[in-house]
Structure 1
């Protein structure tokens, strides 16, 4: 099949969950004998091919409300003049462009992502747009892709729409690169970790506040930044400045180091609340990190019995103190999470499910 993947920043994956999914799924579809075309947002030295996937680089308007849709508009225009058997569109925000793909008689499935309209960065207009885009995705997609059962239930209950559930995969780490951590000034089991974009629905401020209320001896390492949330970033910085145990290290783009941080932390503190199956959470589980997660249905679904959950700063403080008081128990939870990831969240299985979906779309099922 000739498969087009549209609506993300593209590959190589350097940014988020969608991009990692494109790279992992697309490369496996190529290995299975399919032709995969990935639309990427402009690059200084664009590659024509990556892991067998054909790359098309197109520009985008650098504005939080326009970046995704502007790039996808150009991508769809390019798509209409290329032979394509199936289109996979990522992000429900791109739904207004689906009729053009349908007019070209290309069967299309839309990965709707999480509940984007709940994100604090969107004002009233932005939220109304995302709610309208959800409805349009349901109306104009041949199939809806949900990455969590809870997202399936949301689309069923709100729109009466069926969907196919295909989660993300988790990279599995059975060992930690202690030498790499040491070169960067860390010790295995010697720090707590947060990896998140600085956005209110990821609760980085709540985590930092809760940690500062704790009697924790190990430092809190906060990996992340905020491209569109300066005020929220300032709040996090103000909280961190009051406690020398908190280390804001910004973005970490060295994937080996990031892997080592996940595998070497005393606990991984996960505050995401509006997505489905979160890739950062899966990465932590696959690394055997003991996870303390915000108390929402998505995180319960992914973690099962391997997680500890918090709803406020005091809960978080208690969980951090418990991780330090009983590191062997925390490590047991981490091992349990890794086995859960190994069983339920493998990229080979995810890619096989996408391949079946594409065959169904091509066949008109």
Structure 2
């Protein structure tokens, strides 16, 4: 098959979840003998024309000059280019800035869209932007031949809202089993004697709720807060919790080995995400054998099931901090690690996408 992937900044990954998936999946397809193309921003750090057998198409992306609006121009450039490539399948990752150009998509290829999370629920967006995102979501549903949901919650939503079936294919993570305690000295930490969270500094990730619980708890062990805090919301949180000495704003950490080790040696890993599908950082925490305390919602429960502690307010966070130890709950840790190996491994997920592509091409799976 001749396949294109659009909707990401490109590969190798220098940005986020969709880029990481694209890197793994495109190389997998190339190794299977398929003709695979990935669209990259023109200013992506990787400027070669090929990456491990994957053909790279660089297109002009003015996001660095224009902000969010530049994404619309980049997606437009990618879609226009795709019209002359004679692809069999175009995999569209997300829809926020691409679905408005649906009428320009080439007619021959099968259009498969991963619907991402419920973007219009994110509290960082203004009311007009949320209305646009609902509109963009509706366009993506109607203009795609097939839909992919990366969580059962998204699959259920699409079925109820649009009466549209979607194929559930989760995100993935690599099991981590090469722990190295030397990383702890860089952060002045002791194994099992700190808690942590990793998140973008956005209200729907409930950092405020978690940190409020930290201030209420009768405990002074360190709480590591990892993520880019040089934002308006980050400034608000740093000011609010300035006097709480055990809350440590570390900033962004991009070294995956460091993150895996920090998760592995933590006592509790807090996951406050409340919007979206299967969150990559949650799977990475499971794969790193962290004991997880998660915000109580269908997305998180759909992945963790009974193998986590759940909170819905600061008082619940306080109770978890005061009463729960990783050493007493190692079965939860092992259950989640097994789930990663069995259900969220990249080889399985790549195979599920390829099977979907083959079924779509052959006509076994019927679309809209």
Unmatched runs of 5 consecutive residues or more in structure 2: none
Aligned to 1:255: 256
Corresponding position of 2:62: 60
What is the rounded CA distance, in whole Å, between the counterparts of 1:116 and 1:125 in structure 2? 13
Match of 2:270 in 1: 269
Aligned residues between the structures: 360
Residue 267 of structure 1 contacts residue 330 of structure 1 at CA under 8 Å; is this kept in 2? no
- Which runs of no fewer than 5 residues in structure 1 stay unpaired? none
Indicate if the aligned counterparts of 2:2 and 2:88 stay in contact, CA closer than 8 A.
yes
Aligned equivalents of 1:109, 1:189: Cα separation in 2: 44
Question: Which position in structure 2 is the counterpart of 1:6?
Answer: 6
CA contact (8 A) 1:108 1:361 kept: no
* Cα distance change, pair 329–68 in 1 and its aligned pair in 2 (3 A): farther
1:357 maps to which residue? 356
Q: CA distance change for structure 1 residues 50 and 218 in 2, over 3 Å: closer, same or farther?
A: farther
| C-alpha distance 154-55 of structure 1, shift in aligned 2 (>3 A) | same
Residue 226 of structure 1, CA deviation = 5.6
In structure 2, the partner of 1:217 is: 220
User: Using the alignment, how far apart are the partners of 2:358 and 2:119 within structure 1?
Assistant: 29
Q: 1:45 to 1:171 in 2, by over 3 A?
A: closer
Mapped pair 1:85 → 2:79: no
Query: Would the aligned equivalents of 1:11 and 1:23 in 2 still touch at CA under 8 Å?
Result: yes
Instruction: Write the distance in 2 (CA, Å) between the matches of 1:73 and 1:16.
Output: 21
Cα deviation for residue 184 of structure 1 reads: 4.3
Give the corresponding residue for 1:144.
147
Residues 32 and 99 of structure 1, relative CA distance in 2, 3 Å threshold? same
SS in 2 for 1:305: coil
Corresponding position: 1:49 with 2:53 = no
- The equivalent position to 1:157 in structure 2, one of 138, 156, 160, is 160
SS in 1 for 2:249: strand
Which residue is equivalent to 1:171? 174
8 Å CA contact 1:138–1:144 kept in 2: the answer is yes
* 1:6–1:89 Cα contact (<8 Å) kept: yes
Q: Which residue of the partner structure matches residue 108 of structure 1? A: 111
Instruction: Please say if 1:96 is aligned against 2:100.
Output: yes
Distance in 2 (alpha carbons) for counterparts of 1:357 and 1:327: 39
1:232 corresponding residue in structure 2: 233
Cross-structure match for 1:122: 125
In the alignment, the residues of structure 1 paired with residue 45 and residue 278 of structure 2 have an alpha-carbon distance, to the nearest angstrom, of: 32
TM-score for both structures, normalised by structure 1: 0.93
What TM-score, normalized by structure 2, do the two folds share? 0.93
What CA distance in whole angstroms lies between the structure 2 residues aligned with 1:188 and 1:134? 44
| 2:335 counterpart residue number | 336
